[in-house]
Copies of this chain bind each other. A is one copy, B any other.
Amino acid sequence: MMKGSTIEGGGVISRRKGLARGLSIMDFILRIVAAVGTLAAAIAMGTTDETLPFATQFIRFRAEFDDLPSFVFFVVANSLICGYLVLSLILSLLHIVKSSAVKSRLLLVVLDTIMLGLATAGASAAAAIVYIAHYGNPKPNWFAICQQYNSFCERISASLIGSYLAAAILVILIIFSAVAISRN
């Protein structure tokens, strides 16, 4: 009887360890995906400019991402998050090897949560401006510049995808960490 219950207890522990390790491996993969997403978002936005094929004597019509402060914030935020995600891979790798680690998981929860705030803030500030660029707004007479700057608008819209993807992944990472902590 004693032996039986010990084996059963060991089974529960190894099943828990197996779950924690599985979560750690998923965590590692998702961090890479999110890092690629933010990198693509930062590069797509940060290299966007368009010069229209016509000009008056004095004005050249040119749109660059850094004309708008929200887009600059978007690039800075996504670069920061990408850098953080790459660095966090070290801890994530440690969790695959040592699945019972709790303190380093807590550290990742704290940092992931702050980065989630940064990611949604950057993406949404940019999205609000992209919306105005596409549709304009009749009340304050803000024009829909996308009617002229087509390729500019396509790129800034596309770059939002990577950033929102990273935000969604960060939500999943925080939940994974919390579950892994609760199993130890």
Q: Which residues of B contact A133 (CB under 8 A)?
A: 140
Q: Chain A: residues with CB nearer than 8 A to chain B?
A: 63, 67-70, 102, 105-106, 109-110, 113-114, 116-117, 120-129, 131-133, 137, 139-143, 145, 167, 171, 174-175, 177-179, 181-182, 184
Inter-chain pairs besides A68-B137, A105-B182, 17 sampled, C-beta below 8 Å:
A67-B139, A67-B140, A68-B139, A106-B182, A113-B171, A113-B174, A114-B171, A116-B116, A116-B117, A116-B120, A120-B121, A121-B121, A124-B125, A125-B128, A126-B128, A140-B145, A141-B143
Q: Which residues of B contact A68 (CB under 8 A)?
A: 137, 139
Q: Which residues of B contact A114 (CB under 8 A)?
A: 171
Residue from A114, A141, A167, A178 whose CB has the most chain B CB atoms within 10 Å: A178
CB of A17, distance to nearest CB on chain B (Å): 17
Residue from A102, A117, A175 whose CB has the most chain B CB atoms within 10 Å: A117
Residue contact B137 to A178, C-beta cutoff 8 Å = no
Contacts A120-B124, A121-B123 given: A175-B70 contact, CB under 8 Å? no
Query: What CA separation (Å) do A11 and B132 show in the bound complex?
Result: 60
CB closest chain-B residue, reference A69: B131
Q: How many subunits of this chain does the assembly comprise?
A: 2
| 29 intermolecular pairs with C-beta atoms under 8 Å apart | A63-B140, A67-B137, A67-B139, A68-B137, A69-B131, A70-B128, A102-B182, A105-B182, A106-B178, A106-B179, A109-B175, A109-B178, A113-B116, A114-B171, A116-B116, A116-B117, A117-B120, A120-B120, A120-B121, A120-B124, A121-B124, A122-B124, A124-B125, A124-B128, A126-B128, A128-B128, A133-B140, A140-B145, A142-B143
